[in-house]
Amino acid sequence: MSETYDFLFKFLVIGNAGTGKSCLLHQFIEKRFKEDSNHTIGVEFGSKIISVVNKFVKLQIWDTAGQERFRSVTRSYYRGAAGALLVYDITSRETYNALTNWLTDARMLASQNIVIILCGNKKDLDADREVTFLEASRFAQENELMFLETSALTGENVEEAFVQCARKILNKIESELDPERMGSGIQYGDAALRQLRSPRRAQAQSAQECGC
């Protein structure tokens, strides 16, 4: 049962209902498309350890229900998230139009330094596309988001989305972000490598607020 990792990041998957959030998470963790499943009620949870730039990072991922009214319930989980996948469906303009709302929520309620990657999901349904790549990448640029088009069905760019987001957070730790800041959404793991920060700081980890 013992797991070795250097860091633990809290991640969120947010976006409108039916954009494929749970399928992205399932594809990422199980490496296959989740066919025929009930939609998410409330919040579901998954985790996986990935290797990014010589570090083992455990992602603890909170998959949220997309229906508008569940937001008043799911918003409570935003606190202390280090990263987020903001998902829309490239075949539905409505899900794209809702992005600003989701973004406001995430920036307001999660960690100040939250790293967000925009995912235009259902890339495999290119024939039914309602949102162009160019338009979405402009939106991403304006809002300082990373951006990928993904397909939970084929698996294209799914792993990449999670990895890129994690890599950016690691970069931030090396430069400006202090994992020991309250609500950073980052914890040190048991691997106890912690070369990124001075050893002195590592002692403070037990005092961290987040128990996830």
Partner 1 sequence: MDIMFRTIVSTATRTAAAAKTHHKGLPASETPKTVQPPTKSPPRNHLFVRVDPYGFERPQDFDYESHEEMMSEYLAVLRRRSVKWSKLLHGNVKVEKNIKVKRYVRKGVPKEHRAQIWMAASGAQEQLEKHPGYYHSLLKNKHNAKLEETIRLDMHRTFPDNVLFRSSSESCLQTALYNVLLAYGHHNNDVGYCQGMNFIAGYLIIITKDEEKSFWLMDALLGRILPDYYTAAMMGLKTDQEVLGELLKVKVPAVWHLMQQHNVMWSLVVSRWFICLFIDVLPVETVLRIWDCLFYEGSKILFRVALTLIRHHQALLLQAQNLPDVCERFKQITHGEFVEDCHTFMQKIFLEPGSLSMASVRKLRQTCRDRIVAEEAALRP
Both tokens of 5, joined, read 């990792």
Q: Is 32 in the site for partner 1 (CB under 8 A)?
A: no
Instruction: In angstroms, give the least distance from the CB of 212 to partner 1.
Output: 4
Among 2, 38, 203, 206, binds partner 1 (CB under 8 A): 38
Nearer to partner 1, 72 or 175 (CB): 72
Q: From CA 27, how far away is CA 24, in angstroms rounded?
A: 5
Q: Is 69 in the site for partner 1 (CB under 8 A)?
A: yes
Residue 7, interface with partner 1 (CB under 8 A)? no
If binding is defined by CB under 8 A, does position 205 make contact with partner 1?
no
Residue type, 25: L
Based on the shown chain and the rule CB under 8 A, indicate whether residue 2 belongs to the binding site for partner 1: no
User: What is the CA angle 150-78-104, rounded to 5?
Assistant: 75
Q: How far is the CB of 175 from partner 1 (least distance, A)?
A: 29
11, 77, 78, 88: residue in contact with partner 1 (rule CB under 8 A): 77
Pick between residue 23 and residue 146 the one whose CB is nearest to partner 1. Answer: 23
Task: Select the residue interacting with partner 1 from 2, 72, 195, 206 (CB under 8 A).
Answer: 72
How many residues are there in the chain? Answer: 212
Count of residues near partner 1 by CB under 8 A: 25
Of 126-134, 136-144, 193-201, 204-212, the segment contacting partner 1 by CB under 8 A is: 204-212
Pick the closer one to partner 1 by CB: 20 or 120: 20
Contact between 36 and partner 1 (CB under 8 A)?
yes
